[in-house]
Amino acid sequence: MHFIPMKDGFGAIVDGFREDSSVDADSCNRLREALGQFRLLVLRGMALSPEKQVRFGRIFGDLEVHVLNAYHKPQHPEIFELSNIGPDGFPNAVHPDKGTLLWHTDASWQGVPVLATMLFAVKVPVNGGHTLFADMIRAYEGFSPTDQGQFLQLDVIHDLHVSLQKSGGPGMTEEKQKERPPVIQPLVRWHEPTGRNAIYLGSHARNVVGLADIAGRGLIERIMNHCIEPRFVYEHIWRTGDMVIWDNRATMHRATEYDTAIEPRVLRRTVVKGSPVIRGRTTPAQDRDVALRHSAPS
């Protein structure tokens, strides 16, 4: 098994991995390490049953069960199927999750968001239905030192109710909103495996703590527009049998449109549990700046 880095070290193709019942400890370690370093892994030509997918997912940690219970596969609560196939076996013209069409980071609305998401392609459309991934580490590093210094001080409110509304839905019931209240996350997140900072935003981001509504939303929009510039983005064009795994600590993603009335698209999803978000680290120069500002006579 070896890793072929993609554009600018963001993402790697995993070559020569064969999923069988005995994936050795060394391969597991190398896969975990590669996910941390590349933030995105692409495996092609996989034949994964739901059982194998769950077992494969556990290489990266414990798996989550999604909050939208309706989508669970009965025997595999860890698997969430994104499918537009109706009961008659044909495309039903319904997009399974319109929220995925917006740039987002999975579960940033959870106090402890998810570490990684894995999608396995069972059926893919001929036109569209790609997935775009943004490298939030290089996006952070692409900002000026002044911007970086400001961003490191800021916190952002993430709210599932608001992102559901952004994608055209009614949002959550009051009861669900109580179960899933907004959470506060740092705008810049520390990415442990690479020791680099990453912008932490996406459609669940509602506003910036301490800023007026319009100013906060404006700032979020400015940063998001920078992060999704083509130079930071990889576009995955799916083939049946692809497995893509991404690190939600340092990426955003979104699906592109396809014709849900004509083309079948079935992706099986598993999600690896995460750990608490760590605020981005300042450089010694930024620390000196803050110290100077605080000691300057006003």
Candidate ranges 69-77, 103-111, 125-133, 153-161; the one touching Fe ion (CB under 5 A): 103-111
Report which DSSP code applies to 149.
Answer: H
Which listed option, ligand AKG, Fe ion, none, makes contact with residue 152 (CB within 5 to 8 Å by class)? none
Helix ranges, the chain (H): 25-38, 50-57, 136-141, 145-151, 160-166, 174-179, 213-227, 284-295
Helix ranges, 45-155 (H): 50-57, 136-141, 145-151
CA distances 77 to 26, 66, 70, 71, 170, Å, are 28, 8, 10, 9, 26
Nearer to Fe ion, 106 or 135 (CB): 106
Which listed option, ligand AKG, Fe ion, none, makes contact with residue 79 (CB within 5 to 8 Å by class)? none
Candidate ranges 4-12, 73-81, 98-106, 268-276; the one touching Fe ion (CB under 5 A): 98-106
Minimum distance from CB of 49 to ligand AKG (Å)? 19
- Is 267 a binding residue for ligand AKG by CB under 6 A? The answer is yes
The answer to whether 52 touches 19, Cβ cutoff 8 Å, is: yes
Minimum distance from CB of 127 to ligand AKG (Å)? 14
Cα–Cα distance for residue pair 5/271, rounded to 1 Å: 23
Cross-strand partners of 189? 198, 279
CA distances 118 to 81, 82, 246, Å, are 12, 12, 7
- Is 106 a binding residue for Fe ion by CB under 5 A? The answer is yes
- Is 255 a binding residue for ligand AKG by CB under 6 A? The answer is yes
Nearer to Fe ion, 191 or 204 (CB): 204
Binding-site member from 53, 110, 131, 270 for ligand AKG (CB under 6 A): 131
Nearer to ligand AKG, 113 or 216 (CB): 113
Tally of residues, the chain: 298
CA distances 84 to 89, 100, 140, 165, Å, are 9, 14, 36, 21
Residues numbered 86 to 125 that lie near ligand AKG (CB under 6 A) are: 100, 106, 117, 119
Cα–Cα distance for residue pair 241/267, rounded to 1 Å: 10
Nearer to ligand AKG, 104 or 148 (CB): 104
- Is 78 a binding residue for Fe ion by CB under 5 A? The answer is no
The count of residues interacting with ligand AKG (CB under 6 A) is 10
Q: Which residue is nearest to ligand AKG (CB)?
A: 255
Binding site for ligand AKG (CB under 6 A): 82, 100, 106, 117, 119, 131, 253, 255, 267, 269
